[in-house]
Amino acid sequence: MSGQVREEVSAARRIVVKVGSSSLTTAVGGLSGERVDALVDALASRLGVPGTQLVLVSSGAIAAGLSPLGLRKRPKDLPTQQAAASVGQGLLVGRYTASFARYGRTVGQVLLTVDDTTRRSHYRNAHQTMARLLDMNVVPIVNENDTVATHEIRFGDNDRLAALVAHLVHADLLVLLSDVDALYDGDPSKPGTSQVADVRGPADLAGISIGGAGKAGLGTGGMATKVEAARIATEAGIPVVLTSAAHASRALRGEAVGTLFHRTGSRTPTRLLWLAHAADTRGALHLDPGAVRAVVERRLSLLPAGVTGVEGSFNAGDPVDLVDDAGVAVARGLVNYDASELPELLGRSTRELAAALGPQYERELVHRDDLVVLR
């Protein structure tokens, strides 16, 4: 199988590569210059293909800061994690700068938080910045801003972020590098398990336990977060390769190593992917069964007549969940009204509202162009 070439991988021109902490550090937690150089060697080889652009989403700031601070393992408390990130981020980017310089390449640091992917204006600015860096032949080095992050510092080890970045920069391919060389159909440490070479949809994951974490204990992302990241990317039309950092060069050449998650959807407008996967909703609108059918099955706009209740405090333009009578979010969209305006609108037709309150109320609660179905 290793002699085969994955055409969609070898043909990719804009590539996002994500590497985890355990692939960059020593066993005691310090940054390994040899591992960083080996990774950069693989990336530089792919960058040598004409027309190739690359974004690197790199974990490792906290892990890189452990040794200088005299810490033997990743701290559990948030302030110490953030202190380690503050020390380690400079070391991490400095090492990348020196390593890429061997190939005449310049890097640019891009630090993001969840807030940068949930606020539309931040998201747009991040897109513009990275597009400009790529146009200038710079390799963006992306990481979560662990020094100021809160919840996300303990979640996902950048896997979800990498999937969102892949869509943000309109990537042709996402490569997830870990300390595990592929997805397995069982515990890879036990005999009798096999690699999963291809995943073409959810059915291929049926019966596979994906809860296992990496081996080194320095990162936070297990296999479940990588599979979730692959789902986000492939649903947006971006294929994903999951393999080990040791196989990075072969994977980027298109060799059949690791697991290839085939695209399951088509390219999604950036604003809709943002709504589906990045947006931090500010509230919820409860829909009656007729409104659920209109939104989910017929892909129509949401009108006030089909809404039975409102949760949360939000302003016009904020993302909100649209939930059914069981409380399950069936869609998400940008609401056209402030929460305070809605109580007197619910259950009434737009024609009735326009007659009673004025023509400005003859509009949808959520327009279908600002709405994404979740199920």
Q: Which residues are annotated as a binding site for substrate?
A: 59, 146, 158
Q: Which of 214, 194, 274, 276 is nearest to 18 (CA)?
A: 214
Angle between helices 159-168 and 120-135 (to 10 degrees): 70
Question: Strands of 106-112's sheet, edge to edge?
Answer: 106-112, 138-144, 53-58, 14-19, 173-178, 240-244, 259-261, 198-199
Q: Which residues are annotated as a binding site?
A: 18, 59, 146, 158, 178-179, 220-226
Shortest CA distance to 365 belongs to which of 329, 331, 326, 327?
331
Positions at the binding site for ATP: 18, 178-179, 220-226
Angstrom CA distances, 75 to 58, 111, 153, 314, stand at 19, 21, 12, 36
Of the candidates 191, 188, 248, the residue with the CA atom closest to the CA atom of residue 223: 188
- The span from the CA of 148 to the CA of 157, in Å, is 15
Contact of 85 with 154, CB cutoff 8 Å: no
| 280 C-beta neighbours (distance < 10 Å), count | 11
